Structure formats: structure tokens, C-alpha cells
Chains A and B, each alone.
Chain A
Amino acid sequence: MHLVSVIQRGVWAVLLWPNLLASSVPLDCREEQGILSRCPSISQEKLLDRVIEHAELIYRVSEESCSLYEDMFIPLQFQRNQVGYACITKTLPVPSSKNEIQQISDKWLLHSVLMLVQSWIEPLVYLQTSLDRYNAAPEMLLNKTKWVSEKLISLEQGVVVLIKKMLDEGMLTINHSEQGLLQNGVQPQMLESVMRDYTLLSCFKKDAHKMEAFLKLLKCRQTDRYNCS
């Protein structure tokens, strides 16, 4: 009798465990036909896809802004070539050669992206104020740079969430210790504001491309580890 009741309870428990757990919040989402179930966070694949799209968009708009700026304010080719050496993010421990990138781990890829993103939030705000002071800056350029700086903040949030999800790390504090980067990186010979702004824009364009590339590489590694470049 005792045994039977135990068995009964056991059977109850076994058969009812999904219902028991239903009221509690599950740790992971299960998607059925794209419809969201009661889960507290977005799946990792979706997150990664969205982050990549975000980064693509940011890169595209920054590229457009840079070429707009070039056409308006930098007519000579030799001036355009000068900016390659003065990017402010040179000092960051971000991998830059193809070899390095291939050897780096997923974790460091993500962290590099985060570092890049975080290091650009302040300078973009600075760029925005600088452009506002121009007489002849076109409306579209201003709007684009503003949009980019907003979306960059959003991207930062996304990357943080992604890191938390992928790497199971705790809540990362938004680290703005790179604030001093701008002052450190300014070359003395580039005090002219037009060249300085152009430097900022084109460096940001390059870094945005880097972010996008890292994220795409990450995505590729999720699906097929050994076939990515």
C-alpha cells in the first residue's frame, strides 16, 4: 500500500513535471513556428542576427556620411590619403591583421567589438557638436551622423546582451574609461578642424567595418567552425 502510494506519487510527479515547471520561468526560449513562447529573453541566434544587421547598417550610413563629407570639404586626393595613420583606436588591443583574427577566440572577438563600440560613443558626440558649428554642412550629413551615434549606443546594448548570453558572463558595466582616448590620440599637426573631423569620420568608417566583419565571423563560426575566414 505504501509502495502503491509512492508509485502513484511518483507517476504523478513524472507526468506532471511539465506543468510544474510551466509556472516558473524557463531559462531558455523554445520557438514554435516563430511564435514567441513565454520566455524571458531573445534567443542567441536572433540576437546575433540583429546585432549583425545593426552593424551593417551603421557601417553603410557611416560610409555615406564619410563620402558626403569628402565631396564637400576634402577635394584633394592627397589629403584623403593622410588620414590612415591617425586613427584614435590604434591604441586599443584590437586585432587588425587577418592572421590575428583567425586565431582569436569567440570571446575575444566579442570583446573587441564591444571595445570598439564603446570607444566610439564619445568621439561621435564630439563630432556631432563640431559639425553643428559649420556654416555649410548639409542637413543630410548632420542627420546621418546623429542617427549613427544613436544607433551606436543601441548597438552597444545589443552587444552587451549578446556577450551575456553567449559567454554567460555577468552584467558588464558600461565602461567609458576610454574617454581620454580622444585627447590622447589627437595629432598635433591636425588641429585644423576640417581635417580632424574628416579623420574621425574615416576612422569610424573603418572601425565600423571591422565590427561588422568580426560579428559576421562570429556568426560563421557558430554554424561552421572550420570554414570561415
Chain B
Amino acid sequence: MFDPRDTRVSRWSGGCGMLWLLLWLLPAGDGSRMVVQDGTYKDRRGPEEGAVTTRPHIHYCRSPNMEDFSCWWLPLDNLTDGEQVTYALSYSKDKGPRHECPDYGTAGPFSCHFDSSHTSIWKIYCLNVTAVTASGNYTSQEHCLDVAEIVQTEAPVNLTYELTDAGGDEMGHSALLSWTYPVPSDLQYGWITLVYELQYRRATEADEWKVKHPLRESRVELLGLPVGDYVVRVRCRSHNYGLWSNWSAALLMSLPTGPPKGKVLVPIVVTGVAVVALLVILFGVMPQGRRIKDYFLPPIPNPRIIGIDPLLLKKGNLAEINHHFSNFHSFSPPSYSEEVWDQVSAGDAFLAVPKAFCVASDPTGREKDALMFPCDLPPASAAAAAAAAAAAPHGVAGNPPASYVQSVSPYCSLPPQAFAPPPDRSSWSRPEIVSLPCTEYSVMGHPGLPDASAASRGPQDFYTCVQLMKEGGEVHLVPCLPPAYCREFPPPPRVEKKEEKKKKKKMADGQARTNERNDGGEEERSEAAVPLLPLAVKG
């Protein structure tokens, strides 16, 4: 007889055991679903991985652009040699009817490719593949996918870098990294919009990647990187669907030591120039400081009148002062000796019909300017004189004394005055070439001038007149002699008449000019101080 309590206990214990079994199985039941999920996810490792399978297994499906996709499966392993196997993949969309794979070959062996006409992003595909062998059919597990979820874009290519100077306050370099997407037609019309992620690290520090994410453009600039070697890689993804692409090929980027050449050169040049300048200043300029200062900033001279030394006026002796002042035009030092006056009759003095004029220094006290002094010469030679005076003066020093002709012209109407003998009067007695003051003519002094008229010789001694003009353009100069000698000598031959009219016209003009000048000069003279001519005076 059974003890009812024993059976109850045993049943209960059996029941409890089963309960524990159940409880233990529960997570496994959920886990099977999890396994399925992991299977669809983990299996996207790559088609190359092999595994031991008793039945085929769809392990990898991928869509590169959300318009078509492919799936790969792993073939059977436990085949006996020589056994023929064919695979057939079938799929259904959203519980619809099953269809066969439309394209077995495009994506390689053990694959199925769905082109755009067979791809729908609105429905879920569930696939399985069957291995048909002689020994039986082996069907894989059902594999379901959503096309948008398996989108994995291509890895970027052509990753390149360009170094630039960091600029600004940054030390080191900036690197501009750029890459391209290999299939740009996918990105047309915005069907796929990519977002990128870039990672870089120093070549020496493995696994310490710095991340730049998200990047919307296929280029990025890394600023102020310190010197060294770097490894860079980039990947991309459709911005709202799918998975990250594979990493692009890693790029080795090496930043050279030191700043770029241009940056080093400028400070060196500037420093060099500054040092050289400093040395020059120290050793070259400072000793010569005063001279340089004078060169650049000449001392402002004290106001002076040329020729008048105030000190001289204060304490110089009279002879010196006279000497200085005699260099002025029309200065006559006061003579303290008795004046000798010559008797001059009215007939002797010729009224000036100025036919020619000479430029001379006039030592009369009344006139201080250089005076255009009319010389009464015969018209021809007067005209010649006018022409010559207008032309560049030539030195006629070469005239031999033999051809020297005395001037016939009576000298000019100048009120005779007694003068203190000019200091260079003695030079007149000698036949030497004299350069007269304020003229550029040099003339042979005549030896035979009598000394008797020396006293009465006045300003005429300083003048020279053109006696005649030779054909070559040379002018013949003679000193303007006092009237005493005018009558002794015959008048010079007359020049041809055909030039007369022209020259007369010139003379008239010259005369008019002279008159004007004289008038103007007189006005001027009557006024205040007349500026001294800075002519070189030979004393």
C-alpha cells in the first residue's frame, strides 16, 4: 500500500524540481530570441569568416546606399567529398509570398543581390537559404532585415593632409585634412546625407585616439598640433540610418620640427639688422656726433651782410675798411687828400648818343649798380659791340699788340670826377693781359698811355669798348680812352653798309632799353639800400 503522504511528497518534490527546471528554462527562452537578435547583428562581421556549420547560415547583409542590398551566407562544412550542393535563397516581404533570390552572382559566391527594383524600404525582408544536397535539404535559420537598418556606407578614400603655419598665437602647425566619398552619385539629390567622424592620435601613443565628431563636410582643420607623427583615420555614416562604415586607410602625418622656414627667417633677419645698426651707431656715429650733427643740422649763421664785418667796423683800421668797401660798386672812400679837379670844357664832353654800351664797374659814388655805359663808337663797331655784347663774350686776349688799334671814339659822357687812384691802376702801365673788374674781357693794356692823364683817368680805365668786330665773330676790344686821345687817331674803317640798317635797328632797341634801364636804375638808386651784386671781384 502506498503511503499517501509519501506519494504526495514525492510528487511535490518532483513538481518542485520541475518548477525549478521551468524557472531555469525561462531565461533561456527569452535568450533564444536574444540570440536571434544578436545573430542578425553580430553576423555583420564580414563574409570572409568561416564557421563550422551543419546548415547554411546567413551571416552578413549590407546595403551601401539604401537602394539595393546583398546578403552572404556561409556554406555547409560537413560535406563528404564530391557531394554536389546547390543553394537556394528565398525571401518574403512582410509576410507576403515567398520569392527566389533575383541575382545570385553579382555579389560573389554564396551571395544574393537585390537590385533597386526588388528593394523596398517600407517592408521587412525575411530570408532563408536552403542547401540542397544529395543527402537532404538543410535550411538555414530565418534572417530578417530592414533595408534602412543595414545601410553601411563605403569608407572614405583619399585622405590627405596639408600643412600650414598655425598663424596667430599658435605654435606649431595646422593641418587641413580632406577626403572624398568613393561613390558620389549616392549623395546626389540628398538621398543619403553623410556625417563623418575623424580620429587621430600620436604615432607613439597607441589607442589614445582623439575624436572629431560630427563632421558634416569632408574636410577638417586641426589647429596648433605640436610636433611629431600622427596617425589619422576617418569613417562615415548616413546621418539617420544605418551603421558606421569601415575605417578609411590610416594616414601617417608627420609635422616637422620647428616652425616653417618663413617664420624663422624673419626674426633672424630683423635681429641681424638691429645688431648691425647698433654697432654702427656705437662705433661709427657717436664719436663723430658733433660733425654729423653739424651736417644734418647746420648751424644757423648769424645774420651778416656780405663783406661787412661788424668787428672790422668797430675796430679795424681805416685802410682795411676802405679796402673792403672799395670792392663794392660805386663806393668811393672818402679821400682826405686834396682833390685835383681837371678843367673840362664843354666841347670836350660829348653828349652820349649811345651807340654801344659797355658793362663795367662804375666806381662813382653816385651809382652803385653796374652801369650800362654808353660808348660813343662809330656805328659799325658800335653795332658790332651791341651784337657782341648780346652774344657770349669771348676773350680776345689773343690779339697781338700790333693789331691793336687805338680807339677813336671819344669817351662817354661821364662827369669827370677826381678819384683816388684805384689800386690796380699800376697794372695799366704795363702791357699785360688784365681781366678787368666786372667784365669778362681781358685786354692788352697799352703801354703808351701817358701818365699825365692818369689823374684824370676815371672810370674809363675800367671799361673796355668794342672797337670792331671781325668777320669770324671776334670782337676787338680796346679800353675806352679819355677824349684826349680820341682825336689823335684816325677812325677805324667802316664796315659794310648793308648791315647798317639791321644794326641800327638793334641799336635803337638797345638804346631804348638802355634808356629804360637808366631811368629805372635811377629810380632804384634813389630808394633804399640796393642789393649788392655778388660778383666776383678781383682785388
Residues of A bordering B, CB below 8 Å: 1, 4, 8, 11-12, 15-16, 18-19, 22, 25, 32, 34-42, 46-47, 50, 53, 57, 60-61, 144, 147, 154, 157-158, 161-162
Contacts and interface: CB of A to CB of B under 8 A. Distances in A.
B122 A40 contact: no
Contacts of B149: 34, 36
Contacts of B184: none
Contact of B124 (A32, A42, A61): A42
Contact of B26 (A15, A39, A157): A15
Interface in B115-129: 120-124, 126
Nearest to A15: B22
B30 A57 contact: no
Contacts of A12: 18, 22
A18 B189 contact: no
Given A36-B149, A50-B122, A22 B29 contact: yes
Nearest to A25: B95
Nearest to A34: B149
A46 to B, nearest CB: 8
A161 to B, nearest CB: 4
Contacts of A46: 146, 148
Contacts of B12: 4
Interface of B: 7, 11-12, 15, 18-19, 22-23, 25-26, 29-30, 32-33, 36-37, 40-41, 94-95, 120-124, 126, 142, 144-146, 148-149, 188-191, 240
Given A8-B15, A15-B26, A57-B190, A41 B123 contact: yes
Nearest to B22: A15
A12 B26 CA distance: 11
A8 B19 CA distance: 9
Contacts of B22: 11-12, 15-16
B126 A36 contact: no
A4 B4 CA distance: 14
Given A32-B37, A57-B190, A147-B189, A42 B122 contact: yes
Given A47-B122, A154-B121, A1 B33 contact: no
A35 B19 contact: no
A35 B41 contact: yes
A154 B41 CA distance: 27
Nearest to B145: A36
8 contacts: A1-B11, A15-B22, A18-B26, A36-B124, A37-B36, A40-B124, A41-B123, A57-B190
Given A57-B191, A158-B121, 11 more contacts: A12-B18, A16-B22, A22-B32, A35-B40, A35-B41, A37-B37, A38-B33, A38-B36, A39-B124, A46-B146, A57-B190
Contacts of A4: 11-12, 15
A50 B126 CA distance: 20
Contacts of A147: 188-189
Given A1-B11, A41-B124, A154-B121, A36 B37 contact: yes
Nearest to A18: B29
Q: Which of A11, A18, A36, A162 has the most CB of B within 10 A?
A: A36
A153 to B, nearest CB: 10
B64 to A, nearest CB: 17
A171 B300 CA distance: 114
B360 to A, nearest CB: 95
Nearest to A160: B122
Contacts of A15: 22-23, 25-26
A19 B18 CA distance: 16
A161 B94 CA distance: 10
B471 to A, nearest CB: 92
A47 B121 CA distance: 9
10 tightest A-B contacts by CB?
A19-B29, A161-B122, A158-B122, A40-B95, A41-B94, A15-B22, A35-B37, A61-B189, A35-B41, A40-B94
A39 B191 contact: no
A157 B121 CA distance: 9
Q: Which of B19, B40, B122, B126 has the most CB of A within 10 A?
A: B122
Nearest to A17: B29
Given A36-B37, A36-B146, A38-B36, A8 B122 contact: no
Contact of A37 (B26, B33, B121, B123): B33
Nearest to A47: B122
Nearest to A144: B189
